[in-house]
Structure 1
């Protein structure tokens, strides 16, 4: 009799939800009650849409046709398509970072072109359609931020206008969209040179970085809509780990308490940056010595101690290396090692990528299937979510089944971690199939 009741309940549930498919992820306009620490964990592994919307230069203005595509393709990228974006999700990435030079096609009073904003917005929409978290930033943008120390008023006016417009355009987007205050440009050698023995100007330079980041938070929070609670990414000092971990760097005050810090990892630079010898270094083709691994762990431990352990989430907004004049196994080892070192410490690593490097924008897939497999193994190894344990009490019981049913009936909402645990089919969708599978699990083990 008990079995018959279970079967009837299962059939009833299947009929009730046969036409209902509720995503385990955020709806386009949904803001969930989730901490930024949990949110960063949810982001998984990321990849950059590099050398695309952040392309800039007067020659593009002069020789281009005046459309967003002229900038989108100026640095070698094809026009971005929905299939390319889908390919990132299919490859297992959970986050897409979209660097942007907002001065392109900018009009009077620092007004962003509707066409340019629309082109960026289209890519963001595609990414959200495939359940990718999206980071939109203000990138190098022609270098005008270098003038902050000498023309602060003008620069702050432009900075404010840019973020007011971005905030307004995306204010109704859900929490799968993140704003990032800046790329690597916050920190000025004209005020303080880290390589000098003097500390003159250091406090001033840090104070200006902190002021700009605080301005960013204030602009977004005051802009209305979902921006009052949006998760924000705060650029570290030059996104350098050593400099960002300096006590002079301060996270901004945020009434929503929804901020993470961004740093980049291109260490050692003779391997991770150089493709050929330069005046400051000799190119290195291999990576993976004991000293290399020790150096990597040193920096990741520094981030964990300085931020994660203190409740401040960390996103490695860029890490990577070129392939030219590099040993292929070393490239794979470096990328996998950095990814694992960050993700195992509950940080989100976002690999830097451009056309023709790690992701094939023509075939819409990774060039290196072994690297892709390594990334998936990292996700599986450090995934701390027990499938089915929706209420996170350490076991799978009828209580979890009831909680999922209440969610599907829109009686209760699930946090991101709970939704992930409820996705028993691992298809990114919560529906009657998950209820049935969860019921069967309870029956089997009770």
Structure 2
């Protein structure tokens, strides 16, 4: 039996966790055959093309890419070009081959791999244990005005490969949708395709991947007057998004919203505000589950009010979900503000136990405070409710003019990461893409995936172990 020369074209790397679609093409005996395998909620659909006649067509399957040990599933007619594998087991990857003859000589196709279903039998708490640390593709797909409008290059495979190689296990991809939708909230096909392409970059790299509805222009105001409109839009957007990704495995997670609040009001929420915001979470869960397929049991992430830990503990209401133990709750962490985010002043530039100048150090939000905040989330959600917890954003800006070695920034990033990860909370570093100059948070070259701030990267990755 002769092997044929082949090339693989696939949306998901065969060596990574297998996704819903893969294709292999090759040439043997002067004939080019392309085999496509597509996973659905109940089976695997195979189809193939041949640019010249072939005979003695056989379909083979294995649980790895090694052709040794393959078993024949079927022999089909020479003109048949499709087959349904009803025997694939949910959640397991499979490699498929087409064996065929040309002028009496036998050839093999290259493997095309897929999984019948990507939903493993695990709770969100169990899944979250596999996801730390995470990294944000910030200021890119959520940029108002277009993907490059805020100064970052278009997302590519290199950046996903780079963060995976650095030791990150998850990527959060903030996404804006309204600017790419028509007046009736129909998302453009080109934008859905672009988001899919970026998700596939992440999945090719073997990363757990989170997509959301991010700030999106500020239409998601949690007020009674806006409630009906916002819920209708959330439902319509998530119905479209979920349908597009319904065959993707459980390495893809959906996060319903982002930092829901009334613009400009950072204080404790009123009853109106948190009641309406809780309704947004319920609408999101209902919309996704209604699309069926893998979305019936996809892990979903719902948000506390303004993703503030104290407000989440006090006011969050767990949405009703027909899928058992498939919800995570998301918070963010940027305390103390004057150290982490306030770029208008460099007066507060030291932090924590290593600080040696009280005049430049906040008197609150030190290490014991961090641990106490993380304990609140662990006790309230992980221990009491069995919910996974995602710290979807955290970072401190560089202050190179006063902390040229980035000692304090690195120490803060390391401490927050370790405190979260030690409790099973998934820390997802906020990277806005900008690596040069002062008051930046970027860690990687977005074009090449190369590490820029290796000290911070190593501190975060090692602290999550």
- What TM-score, normalized to structure 2? 0.68
Measured after TM superposition, the shift of residue 221 of structure 1 is: 0.7
Q: 298, 303, 319: which is aligned to 1:230? A: 298
Q: Give the C-alpha shift of residue 379 in structure 1.
A: 4.0
Residue 283 (structure 1) shift: 4.7
In structure 2, runs of 5+ residues without a counterpart are: 1-63, 70-91, 95-113, 355-363, 435-441
Question: Could you say what secondary structure the match of 1:250 adopts?
Answer: coil
- TM-score between the two structures when normalised by the length of structure 1: 0.71
Q: Which structure 1 residue ranges, 5 or more long, are not aligned?
A: 1-15, 61-70, 196-200, 381-446
- The correspondence for 1:301, drawn from 366, 375, 388, is 375
SS class of match (1:136): strand
Matched, 1:37 2:115: no
Checking the alignment, whether the CA contact within 8 Å between 1:28 and 1:128 is kept in structure 2 is: no
**Partners in 2 of 1:97 and 1:338 — Cα distance?**
18
Corresponding residue for 1:320?
Answer: 395
| C-alpha distance 143-289 of structure 1, shift in aligned 2 (>3 A) | same
Please tell me the root mean square deviation across aligned C-alpha atoms, in Å. Answer: 2.4
Work out whether residues 276 and 283 of structure 1, in 8 Å CA contact, stay in contact via their aligned partners in 2: no
Distance 1:378 1:28, change over 3 A: farther
Paired residue secondary structure (2:135): strand
Matched with 2:413 is 335
Indicate the residue corresponding to 1:362 in structure 2.
Answer: 447
* Alpha-carbon shift at residue 142 of structure 1 (Å): 0.4
| SS of residue matched to 1:346 | coil
Q: Secondary structure at the match of 2:459?
A: helix
User: 1:363 Cα deviation (Å)?
Assistant: 3.7
User: CA shift at 1:129, angstroms?
Assistant: 1.3
The answer on whether the counterparts of 2:158 and 2:448 sit within 8 Å (CA) in structure 1 is no
Q: Does 1:158 align with 2:233?
A: yes
Residue in 2 that maps onto 1:256: 323
Cα deviation digits, residues 373-399 of structure 1 (max 9, x gap): 33343344xxxxxxxxxxxxxxxxxxx
**Higher CA-based Rg:** 2
Tell me, in whole angstroms, the C-alpha distance in 2 between the residues paired with 1:283 and 1:46.
Answer: 30
CA shift, 1:132, in A, is 0.3
Residue equivalent to 2:25: none
Give the structure 2 partner of residue 101 of structure 1: 176
From 334, 341, 344, give the equivalent of 1:266.
334
Q: Distance in 1 between matches of 2:229 and 2:148?
A: 30
Runs (4+) off by over 6 Å = 20-24
Q: What do the CA deviations read for 1:407-427 (whole angstroms, capped 9, x no partner)?
A: xxxxxxxxxxxxxxxxxxxxx
Flag the structure with more relative contact order, 1 or 2, with Cα contacts below 8 A and sequence separation at least 6.
Answer: 1
> Given that residues 415 and 463 in structure 2 are in contact (C-alpha distance below 8 angstroms), is that contact kept between their aligned partners in structure 1?
no
The corresponding residue for 2:460 is 375
Provide the residue aligned with 1:286 in structure 2. Answer: 350
Q: How many residues align?
A: 339
Cα distance in 2, alignment partners of residues 34 and 379 from structure 1: 21
For 1:155-178, what per-residue CA distance to the aligned partner results, in whole angstroms no more than 9, with x for missing partners? 222121111111111111110000
Kindly indicate whether residue 288 of structure 2 is the aligned counterpart of residue 220 of structure 1. Answer: yes
Shift of 1:27: 5.0
Distance 1:189 1:354 in 2: 21
Sort the Cα spacing of 1:350 and 1:204 in 2 relative to 1 into closer, same or farther, 3 A.
same
Query: Over residues 334-360 of structure 1, what are the superposed CA-to-partner deviations in whole Å (9 max), with x where a residue is unaligned?
Result: 111111100000010000001122222
SS at match of 2:209: strand
* Cα-to-partner distance string for 1:261-293 (whole Å, 9 max, x where unaligned): 00000000001111123xxxx752122238511
Name the stretch that deviates more: 43-52 or 98-107.
98-107
Alignment of 1:126-205 (within 5 A): 126-146=201-221, 148-185=223-260, 187-188=261-262, 194=267, 202-205=270-273
1:85-110 Cα offsets, whole Å, 9 max, x none, are: 11111111110000011012211310
Q: Deviations along 1:58-102, whole A, 9 cap, x unmatched?
A: xx3xxxxxxxxxx11000111111111111111111100000110
Q: Which residue of 1 aligns with 2:88?
A: none
Cα distance in 1 between the residues matched to 2:313 and 2:135: 24
1:364, CA displacement in angstroms?
1.0
